[in-house]
Amino acid sequence: MKQGYEKVWSECLAVIRDNVSPNAFSTWFGPIRPVRLNDNILTLQVPSQFFYEWLEEHYIDLLKKTIKKELGPDGRLEYSIVMDNTPSASQPKPYTVHAPTLNKQALKNPPVSIPVDLSRDVKGGGSLPNPFVIPGLKKLNIHPQLIESYNFDNFIQGDCNRLARSAGLAVGQNPGKTSFNPLLVYSGNGLGKTHLVNAIGIEVKNNFPEKTVLYVTAEQFTNQFIDSIRNNNQNDFVHFYQLIDVLIVDDIHCLAGKPKTQDVFFHLFNQLHQTRKQIIITSDTPPVEMSGIEPRLLSRFKWGLSADLQVPDFETRIAILQKKIHNDGVEMPLEVLELISAKIKTSVREMEGALISILAQSSMNKKEITLKLAASVIDKFVKHTPKEITIDYIQQTVCDHLDISLDQLKSKSRKRETVQARQLAMYFSKQYTNSSLSTIGSKCGNRDHATVLHACKAIRNLVDTDKKFKQFVNELDNLIKIM
């Protein structure tokens, strides 16, 4: 016969199953084990801290609602976390999550399933083989995941990228043997980081075909790691990465607020570095400005060379466009290229976008590419380019509006207005960015995900109950949107 807690949990599961996708159900609810029911507290065992955080972030309202339905208004939930698969696993760490209020909103939001698609972040479309195919994997079988067109031939040199490019070339010719290990390339969006690090990988492959090169985004790395936890094959994950001679991790800042992934990356970094394997990483800021990354990892990033890519000057922007149209086998009057370069200054990616739009307009409407056509396309393009709303931008807008400093917002201060500003920044960050609660928390002065969750609820409650506050939040909302 089933124990009481098992019965309760299986009834909860029946409700949950109706409210989440089958995929999410098996991923996030399959591994949960009920362990006891005492004083209306149902204890659930989850496989890891990460798992617990994920549940709390995405499914807590559903869980609370279900528990209350099964156990009545006093029903509560407690987690017992199995710490990895290490011997300490026998000492689960309990977390108690109270279920005092019911949030009906949560059920309206579709559940999020774990992102594991390796191909989606890689430019050029098409699905790439999952490099994480183990066990018994031969070194030769590892697909480098490099984008062929992102090579050195196509990477235009200019003052903006001289150091990064020549260091990259040196690494490509001597991986693991220069002092540029790790090589960290940083810049703003669309300035060529992904292109340059791919070019290095291709250069290595050309010079040393036997070397194992792998390009991954930090996001893919994280997802593979999560997968390995889920499938209980973390060792395979680590062994796989130990086979790599040249490891390229793009957008390392995406590890912010993910301490477990950082931890595993830290150990991998050390191992690869000690065995003189080459590590290449990119980031949107220099190491000193990276937030949410553990100091020990940051200090490793500073071991080698950090080189930035700056906004290319006018001539370099034209040269980049010329190379691009030449590669595509199309022609375009120089004055049009000049117009694009003059109008779009901050991102090579946007410049290329405008170029493609102009080509598309001309071929669809069978019109010649004239300055006039280009001007109208660029005009629309510049206006319609949706700008990305970032956590930094939100924090700045909130601070400006409330007249407090950014330092204050990120400080430990418990002053009412500071706390409220911080909570507003967290609330809007959750709303407008895809960042996880932990990332948002770490960017708001190293808070944890629970604090962010609490902040979002506090703001929602105030909006629901206080008209004046609601109006204030709307104003701020508009300010953020019109950026």
Interaction site with Mg ion (CB under 5 A):
193-194
Rule CB under 6 A: choose which of 20, 41, 122, 156 binds ligand ADP: 156
- Regarding 435 and contact with ligand ADP (CB under 6 A), the answer is no
Part in contact with ligand ADP (CB under 6 A); list of ranges 36-44, 111-119, 188-196, 229-237? 188-196
- Regarding 348 and contact with ligand ADP (CB under 6 A), the answer is yes
Pair 268, 241: CB distance under 8 Å? yes
Distances (CA, A) of 41 to 3, 37, 76: 14, 5, 5
Distances (CA, A) of 453 to 20, 54, 450, 457: 21, 12, 5, 6
For residue 402, the number of C-alpha atoms closer than 13 Å in the C-beta half-sphere is 25
Instruction: Give the length of the chain.
Output: 483
CA pair distance 323, 401, nearest whole angstrom: 45
Part in contact with ligand ADP (CB under 6 A); list of ranges 151-159, 367-375, 452-460, 472-480? 151-159
Tokens of 194: 């992904």
Identify which of 406, 402, 394, 379 has the alpha carbon closest to the alpha carbon of residue 431.
Answer: 394
Cβ proximity to ligand ADP: between 88 and 189 the closer is: 189
Q: For residue 10, how many other CB atoms are within 10 A of its CB? A: 12
- Nearest approach in angstroms of CB 92 to ligand ADP is 42
Rule CB under 6 A: choose which of 43, 48, 145, 161 binds ligand ADP: 161
Applying the rule CB under 6 A, the residues between 299 and 328 that interact with ligand ADP are 320
Cβ proximity to Mg ion: between 48 and 187 the closer is: 187
For residue 137, the number of C-alpha atoms closer than 13 Å in the C-beta half-sphere is 21
Cβ proximity to ligand ADP: between 323 and 457 the closer is: 323
- Nearest approach in angstroms of CB 385 to Mg ion is 17
Contact of residue 448 among Mg ion, ligand ADP, none (CB under 5-8 Å per partner type) = none
Cβ proximity to ligand ADP: between 358 and 473 the closer is: 358
Cβ proximity to ligand ADP: between 299 and 346 the closer is: 346
Distances (CA, A) of 328 to 32, 34, 76, 341: 53, 59, 62, 18
Q: Tell how far CA 144 is from the center of its chain.
A: 21
Part in contact with ligand ADP (CB under 6 A); list of ranges 50-58, 128-136, 153-161, 434-442? 153-161
- Regarding 190 and contact with ligand ADP (CB under 6 A), the answer is yes
Pair 322, 348: CB distance under 8 Å? no
- Regarding 349 and contact with ligand ADP (CB under 6 A), the answer is yes
Contact of residue 320 among Mg ion, ligand ADP, none (CB under 5-8 Å per partner type) = ligand ADP
Pair 143, 131: CB distance under 8 Å? yes
Rule CB under 6 A: choose which of 111, 131, 182, 192 binds ligand ADP: 192
Residues in contact with ligand ADP by CB under 6 A are 150, 154-156, 161, 187, 189-195, 320, 348-349, 352
